[in-house]
């Protein structure tokens, strides 16, 4: 069984307690909504918000570790002058939740 909670920490803990054998994958609709809101807040530019969000979706849709690492490297280079965006993505999503976001891990879970 796979469960798709938002980043609600209480719910994630409760689901882990009740369904310890299940895979908990974050809901991409909520994740992307949060990323889009933060990107607009940090940049104040709709074009940056859209471009950054598309890059994040490509990153999360990676089906291999190599593809993920290449996209992350590309994004880090592309957004080096807007470090707040990558810092937000890394600190709030990638570091704590990579295994709940990255499609490669989802495929391992589903198999």
pLDDT in tens, 2-17: 444 455 556 666 766 7
Residues facing residue 2 across a β-bridge: 23
Number of domains forming the structure of the chain: 1
- Identify the CA nearest to 75 among candidates 101, 103, 48, 99: 48
* Residue predicted with more confidence, 24 or 44: 44
pLDDT in tens, 47-64: 999 999 999 999 988 888
d(C-alpha 33, C-alpha 87), whole Å:
17
Structural domain of residue 48, as residue ranges?
28-110
Asked if residue 84 is part of any domain, the answer here is yes
Residue 13 and residue 36 in contact, taking contact as beta carbons nearer than 8 Å: no
Asked if residue 106 is part of any domain, the answer here is yes
Asked if residue 10 is part of any domain, the answer here is no
- Identify the CA nearest to 26 among candidates 87, 89, 85, 97: 97
């Amino acid at each position: 069984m796979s469960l798709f909670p938002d980043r609600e920490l209480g719910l994630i803990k409760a689901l882990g307690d009740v369904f310890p054998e299940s895979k908990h994958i974050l809901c991409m609709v909520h994740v992307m909504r949060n990323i889009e809101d933060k990107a607009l807040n940090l940049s104040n530019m709709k074009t940056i918000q859209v471009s950054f969000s598309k890059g994040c979706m490509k990153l999360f849709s990676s089906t291999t570790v190599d593809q993920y690492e290449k996209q992350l490297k590309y994004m880090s280079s592309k957004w080096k002058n807007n470090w707040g965006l990558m810092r937000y993505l890394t600190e709030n999503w990638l570091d704590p939740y990579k295994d709940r976001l990255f499609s490669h891990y989802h495929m391992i879970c589903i198999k």
